[in-house]
Amino acid sequence: MDIELLTTSLILGLCGIFIYYIIRSKDNAVHFIVTVLAMIPLTLISVRKIELAVPVLIMIVVWEIRSLRKDSE
């Protein structure tokens, strides 16, 4: 079996678990942490290069922090 296909399948399975917890989370802090954890592997799969993935991940984290601040107001 191709290693890249196996790695992608494992990462997508991990993201599925994280997305399940996003749906079930009631606490905003837990929702933020799990969303960021789910987005890291998905971004790495879609971009395939760390240099390009880091700005996307920073943007996602900033977006989530802004949405948390809006929810708390």
Report pLDDT for 72: 65
Residue 64's identity, in one-letter code, is: E
Question: How far apart are alpha carbons 60 and 39 in whole angstroms?
Answer: 8
- Structural domain spans, the chain: 3-72
Residue 49's identity, in one-letter code, is: K
pLDDT digits (tens, 9 = 90+) for 32-55: 777 777 777 777 666 666 566 667
pLDDT digits (tens, 9 = 90+) for 55-72: 766 777 777 777 777 766
pTM confidence score = 0.40
Label residue 33 exposed, middle or buried (CB < 10 Å: 0-12, 13-18, 19+). middle
Question: How far apart are alpha carbons 49 and 43 in whole angstroms?
Answer: 9
Report pLDDT for 32: 72
CB 43 within 8 A of CB 61: no
**Structural tokens at position 54:** 């880091």
